[in-house]
Amino acid sequence: MSIVSIFASLQVQSAKLKARLSDIDRQLELRYGDRYGQIKGQVERQIADKKSWYAKTRAEVERTGEIPLDRQQAATSDRFARAGSTAARKEGAIKQQLKELWRSLKNR
């Protein structure tokens, strides 16, 4: 198959899918009326918001060369490392207090 025939086939399939989607949209509008219109509007707004977020994030990545997820993962790792070292210090302090308490009980 050549690229031209593949492209033509995809165009035909796309037209069929668009027609089917239009038919489903019409059926849902007839069945659910205003509720369907409200939900469809909400979904379209959410899609627009996500597209805007994606475009903004992509532009930021291209500008800075840094992936936001990597930055968030690094920040999360740092927080866990600090929490772990704090827990280790507190554990050491508690062990020391227990040793001192045990010694004082033992010496009585």
d(CA 85, CA 55) in angstroms, rounded, equals: 39
**CA 59, 65, 69 angle in degrees (round to 5)?**
85
- Domain range summary for the chain, segments of one domain joined by +: 1-32, 33-65, 68-108
Residues of the chain with pLDDT under 70: none
The pLDDT value recorded for residue 68 is: 82
Residue indicated by tokens 């010496």: 107
